[in-house]
Amino acid sequence: MSNTNKILSTRCKVLVLSLFIFTLGFSATRPVAVMSKIIGDVKVDPVTEPGWRAAAWGGKLFDGDKLKTGEASFSSIMFLDRSLVKIRENSKFTIKSKRTVKRELDTEIYMKVGELNLKAAKGSQFKIQTPTSVASVKGTELNLLVEEDGTTILTVIEGTVAFMNEMGEVLATEMTISRSSVNEAPSEPKEIPKNELPTWVGKVKENWRLNLSPDKPGEKEVGKPFNLQINVEDAKDGKMALDYNNEVNLSSSGADFVFSVDGGQSWTSDAVIKLIKGRGVIKGKGVAFGKSTLTVSGGSSSPGELSISTKRSKAIMTKTERALEKVDPELAEIVAGKQILSSRVSIGTGSVESILDAINSGKLEVTSKEVIENPDGTIRVILKVNPAGSTNSGQEEGEQEDEF
């Protein structure tokens, strides 16, 4: 009797698959802030997945994340304790923040260059470290400018700030300004009239909105190029910005995704394209299955985002992946491209190979599944199968196991 006939004569079989999954230990990390506004070219380098990428509105920030803004760009960050940081163009800094109690934070910002405005919530502690000073803040509003040579200019708008370096320390009070530089202690705070306070925060506005869309909706196959359309609208009236002839940046996060500006001859993970009369077209393709968030950004513009799902072509799916897709498409994505370590049939007769063939041909159907996450990072998938259209009599035979 053939293996397939033996399978069909069995009332119920159990197929056990152990799959190797590579995992990282960041799942327990909790965010400390969120991106509350983005204009222009704003990038983040996440500690959980290093590498600069376009920041997204509503994106979560974690202890150790880095952020930078480009020309004609702006961003604001809302921390868990409701402290608000607004960042001017051409700024670079790192966030170090830890929770002290439920809604309070102990935060340090390492600012290399640029300018920010901080409104620190009462009860939380902020330290802003620059190449030449440290500003210690509690329940205060301030403006801090760091020049290319490290010179730091502190303007206290409300509250009190301890401003220090290895050469000395001053206490800057409301409506005063102090300066620190290399090998010099912070200057004695001087009063500043209201009309000389930094005004850049109120002047930052978006002029355009960028939009990104695929040539056709729906899932895309891995490795198959398609066109992405970019258009710009005026932020004031929503009309097409026909006078927009600027360069924009494209990047992605999530599953691997690449762009081509030369019609598909070469591919890169980030791309720059010049729009003509507010329009442009670029090719893109997913190089791994899953979801990607694509972002288009440019100076003085609100970024455009697009979520793309890429799937594996039926032609390149393995026998195991095709069988698991019949059970659960998400399960098939988990095992896609993984190496099988071992396999066995625990109840019933026949090989794993013949059972997978029978599932794919429709002779067997899966009646239940169980997914077990093992401490070593592997995942065991247990499938119970019956001949299609049959009912389980309670009699179970045979055993087989696979490891990937």
Residue 385 CA to residue 323 CA, distance in Å, equals 11
- Residue ranges of domains in the chain, CATH in brackets: 3-21+338-403 (3.30.70), 33-202 (2.60.120.1440), 208-311 (2.60.40.10)
Amino acid at 137: V
Contacts of 308 (CB under 8 A, 6+ apart): 214, 220, 257, 284, 286, 291, 292, 293, 294
b/e code 262-282 from CB counts within 10 Å (16+ = b) = eeeeebeeebebebeebebeb
DSSP-assigned letter for residue 241? -
Question: What is the model's pLDDT at position 169?
Answer: 96
Question: What is the model's pLDDT at position 292?
Answer: 87
180: closest CA among 133, 136, 135? 133
Question: What is the model's pLDDT at position 339?
Answer: 60
Q: pTM score, two decimals?
A: 0.65
Torsion of CA 387, 347, 14, 21, to 10 degrees: -150
| Percent composition of the chain: helix, strand, coil (DSSP 3-state, to 5) | 10, 50, 40
Q: How many helices (H) and strands (E) would you count in the chain?
A: 5, 32
Task: Judge whether 130 and 92 are in contact, CB under 8 Å.
Answer: no
Question: What is the model's pLDDT at position 379?
Answer: 76
Residue with tokens 């996060």: 253
**Ordered per-residue pLDDT tens for the chain, 404 residues:** 444 444 444 444 555 554 443 333 333 468 899 999 999 999 999 998 888 888 888 889 999 999 999 988 999 999 988 899 999 999 999 999 887 766 678 899 999 999 999 999 887 889 999 999 999 997 789 999 999 999 999 999 999 999 999 999 999 999 999 999 999 999 999 999 999 999 998 777 889 999 999 999 888 888 889 999 999 999 989 999 999 999 999 988 765 899 999 999 999 988 999 999 999 999 999 887 778 889 999 888 999 999 998 876 655 556 676 777 777 777 766 666 566 677 778 777 777 778 878 887 888 888 888 888 776 667 788 888 888 876 554 444 333 344 44
Q: Please state, in angstroms and as integers, the Cα–Cα distance from residue 337 to each residue in 25, 75, 243, 340, following that order.
A: 22, 39, 47, 9
